[in-house]
Amino acid sequence: MGHHSCCNQQKVKRGLWSPEEDEKLIQYISNHGYGCWSEVPEKAGLQRCGKSCRLRWINYLRPDIRRGRFTPDEEKLIIELHGVVGNRYYYDP
């Protein structure tokens, strides 16, 4: 995994997130919401770049992220759509 270009412009922590960092980000977003991600790290007390905080929130920490298996209906829909679209990344009917 590469580093974000914004991480080269300032002294920020890189690599794995600690549970303490996750908790700081969760608490900040829960109390203040998110707006300008470049301001979040400083206000939340994190030594990360805004892009890293945004990606961590969107991909791992959001409370509405569903984890686990697809439902049978979701599996059926995926199979049906794969039959129509195939493996193409871009579909233009």
- Specify the CATH number for the domain of residue 57: 1.10.10.60
Percent of the chain exceeding pLDDT 90 equals 69
Q: What is the pLDDT of residues 44-80, one digit of tens each?
A: 999 999 999 999 999 999 999 998 999 999 999 999 9
Q: What is the mean pLDDT of residues 25-39?
A: 94
Q: Domain tally for the chain?
A: 1
Q: Is residue 13 part of a domain?
A: yes
The CA–CA distances, whole Å, from 91 to 5, 80, 82, 86, 87 equal: 31, 15, 11, 9, 10
pLDDT band for position 86 (cuts 50, 70, 90): confident
Supply the DSSP string of 2-60, one letter for each residue: PPPGGGGSS----SSPPHHHHHHHHHHHHHH--S-TTTHHHHHT--S-HHHHHHHIIII
Q: Which amino acid is at 43?
A: K
Is pTM beyond 0.75? Reply is no
Give the C-alpha separation, 8 to 4, whole Å: 7
